[in-house]
Chains A and B, each alone.
Chain A
């Protein structure tokens, strides 16, 4: 029997992950931001724990091999080493899945990064339920909660790749440790990568008297679409992107509470410990008895499904968010 050995798959629909990454780089904005920092003459480096094709840092590594360190599958070692690097005046940007950074390396982040107040940049990508059917080990629905409770750590949740790129560029002037929480980089773009990112400042997309949505991360884009649609139909719904979850923009929360009858937080995270909790803390501190609806993952482990199916199931896509907002405002 004659078996012909093909050097490549025959169908153009077959693919392997390196090829896919080249065609559709996903988080290419991360490398773009870092490359622009090196080009501007900043002493930075980047590292990853065996995920350079997932977070696109292979592009940074190819461009600046002397500024890239592959740590292999050793996330704790990577975080602690990044802290060591930061002691010398070089600013490290290290990336891996948010599920690992937010939980597996939690103690290294607390002890070596935050407690030592070292300007390490931690980039937790594929956060929330973006990993879909890879399952709970790869879902990160607790990372805002863990990172937010670590003193001296700034927590940023970006809504899309361009916002991450802007935040990465802005981070060069930020002397504190930062945890960036970001998606797959395949979200629809809402922001301009050249726009200024201001740490600690919420971004207002719409004002509304009936309800203000305070969102972060992936749900920001669908929330903006929903508000646009509802407001065009005569309703009054506001949207705030609370990209910096910590320190939270208290003024933005208080203004929304003063303007709107209802508040709703939307996050790709457990409703315990995350953005909803952060907003409710502000309201409680100020003694404001405003109804706050916390929308997100309701203290459970997400199901297995492709990401888009999960967003539909947990009402985090446009249709789902429209439904929960309509239910709230009647």
Chain B
């Protein structure tokens, strides 16, 4: 079911959020505290924006199916990086022979040339039945770029297809509108196929300048008979955020708090979208109802 982390603000110690904090993202691969029946061992990925790097508007991307706790390359990289924007993700999958663990299925997704990256915490039940009906909503040149087998990469292609320019740098409002519009398409296509069981879709999108995250589930509270994911999906898939400093110098959004002490973290309401935009001296954070 995955865990995701989004960050926007002042330069951030990557080691701190990935490895060192007492409920860091890497610790959440083997000991997620808010998802007790599931581990996230199917790979790690991140996109990190460094203002002093060459072509700073392009993120450094890293993906590996190696368990991140034992990934020395990632530890070394994390010690040297202090990004101003980050999306990182650890993937969790069911023990199912249809599931593929591989680099092309790792989040966050970013098609070559696009400024937008996306990571997904959740899963669309019965995705195989609806997958090819989504093609009519995806630009052909974007559909050709889908390499993996996940529902998440299709969601990414749908989001890009909802933008005025899939290769531009949309602001937070346009990103949030594209995410909501994508969820409405998924809702309609699910209805067309009679798919009506719980399917969480917490999406985390960023351009390196603005950050948007949804907390959403289709048909929350309905499950197939004998469902292996029931205990995981019974609680509404979680999303939390916190800001640093009285003047909101930065915002950290995560599937679950990165510290055991949750003081100072706020739970994002269900069926909501959080938008964070860079402003002079800090970030502006808003939480809005998601009308889907």
The judgment on whether A and B are partners is: no
